[in-house]
Amino acid sequence: MEIFSFVKRVPSTTANVEIKDQQLDTSGCEFEINPYDRFAVEEGLRQKEAAGGGTVTAVSFGDDASQKELRTTLAMGADAALLLKNDAADSADAATTAKVIAAAIGERSFDLLLFGKQSVGHDQHGVGAGVATRLGIPCITEVISLDISAGQVTAQRGVEGAVETITASLPCAITCQKGLNEPRLASLKGIMAAKKKPLESVDVEMPALALIVESTQPPAARPAGRIVNNAAELVDALRNEAKVL
């Protein structure tokens, strides 16, 4: 089974958010692999094993710094890594990223594309379904269980108030949600082995951005809160002051 797992380098979720000149400034942030992409890498390793062979290639659209996150996926057990390199990749919105990835991956052969359900930070929930649409293959999003046998895919996902079971056939794209698996940590042996694994870097063009960020600001300050003495006062305030009941 030929599998691509897509990983993005993102500012750590615990990083402080700095805004400079009305734009997000991540220059002081620590970076890490997008947490949901660990599920995509882990699932790639598991599906390859279940299929009895194949390759898992980790792919990132980013600048040279993303090599670090790609090495992490190699240390987890991916067979190869591919950097779609552009120094401005960080400015790309999900629709633009999907266009770039679809153009690069469309030339290669694959059975399964694995994405995170969203990349934290910009939280656009879009690249996986966007790539699949451009490639004309099915995509199942926010998957919490995945079974592939004889080219048939059966997946489950949670929607508001229900769990859906969805079927499709390979080649297929999946976006991974928490619950799908427990991502492994890289072992020392894995880290050593990763140094010898291939990391290919291909320069890619950046199309015109599809989403323009005009400005970014901190959230509107909440009006100062008030401590009330008991449940009766609270209910009174909710009914007569805030008028939410």
Partner 1 sequence: MSSVLVILETRQGELRPSCLEAVGAARVIADAKGCAVVALAPESANLDAAVIGAAGADQLMVATAEVHSADAAAATAARVAREISANTVLLTATVRGRDITPRIAALLDTGFAPDCTAVDANTMVFTRPICGGKAFSNVRINGDVVVASLRPNFFNAAGREHTAEASEVPSEAAKAQVIEVAAQSGERPDVAEASIVISGGRGMGSPDNWHLLEKVADVIPATGLGASRAIVDSGWRPHSEQVGQTGKTVSPELYIAVGISGAIQHLAGMSSSKVIVAINKDADAPIFKHATYGIVGDALEILPELAAELEK
Name the site residues for ligand AMP (rule: CB under 6 A).
Answer: 6-8, 34, 36-37, 40, 59-62, 89, 94, 97, 115-116, 118-119, 122-128
Q: Are strands 2-6 and 112-116 parallel, antiparallel or unpaired?
A: parallel
> Minimal distance in Å, beta carbon 131 to ligand AMP?
8
Whole-angstrom Cα Rg for the chain: 21
Per CB under 8 A, the list member of 178, 184, 191, 204 interacting with partner 1 is 178
Handedness of CA 46, 47, 51, 54 (dihedral sign): negative
Return the number of the residue (123 or 164) whose C-beta is nearest ligand AMP: 123
Handedness of CA 209, 215, 216, 220 (dihedral sign): negative
- Say which entry of partner 1, ligand AMP, none residue 119 contacts (CB below 5 to 8 A, set by partner kind): ligand AMP
- Say which entry of partner 1, ligand AMP, none residue 213 contacts (CB below 5 to 8 A, set by partner kind): partner 1
CA pair distance 142, 228, nearest whole angstrom: 41
Q: Tell me the CA distances in angstroms from 114 to 7, 195, 245, one per residue in order.
A: 9, 23, 44
Q: Which 226-245 residues touch partner 1, going by CB under 8 A?
A: 226-232, 234-235, 237-238, 242, 244-245
- Say which entry of ligand AMP, partner 1, none residue 8 contacts (CB below 5 to 8 A, set by partner kind): ligand AMP
Helical (H) or strand (E) element with 4: strand 2-6
Per CB under 8 A, the list member of 49, 64, 87, 123 interacting with partner 1 is 123
Return the number of the residue (63 or 188) whose C-beta is nearest ligand AMP: 63
And the tokens for 210?
Answer: 């599809």
CA pair distance 155, 164, nearest whole angstrom: 8
Q: Which 135-164 residues touch partner 1, going by CB under 8 A?
A: 137-142, 153, 157-164
